[in-house]
Amino acid sequence: MKQSRLMSLIEAITNVFVGYVLAVVTQIVVFPLFGIDAALREHLTIGLAFVGVSLARGYLLRRLFERLGKRLSGRDTSMYESSKGS
């Protein structure tokens, strides 16, 4: 089943959002166990620091695997054809 770029982006955004919420909750629970005292605002900021990277990673990996899947199945020869003309 092929996933469109838009659906890849929506999936990546959803994944990052859920991961962000889980990360903040985990920080709130785990930080005190290590003697780290942080306010809610700090937890939210720490979580936001990684959102952009997580979003880009999820989207780019999804697109990479989509392209690899096409190449391996023989449906996409664009990379091969563009190198033949050189």
Q: Model's pTM, two decimal places?
A: 0.58
The answer to whether the beta carbons of residues 15 and 34 sit under 8 Å apart is: no
The answer to whether the beta carbons of residues 58 and 11 sit under 8 Å apart is: yes
| pLDDT score at 35 | 97
> Could you tell me how far CA 30 lies from the centroid of its own chain?
23
The answer to whether the beta carbons of residues 59 and 9 sit under 8 Å apart is: yes
| pLDDT score at 28 | 95
For the segment 53-71, what is each residue's pLDDT rounded down to a tens digit? Answer: 777 887 899 899 989 988 8
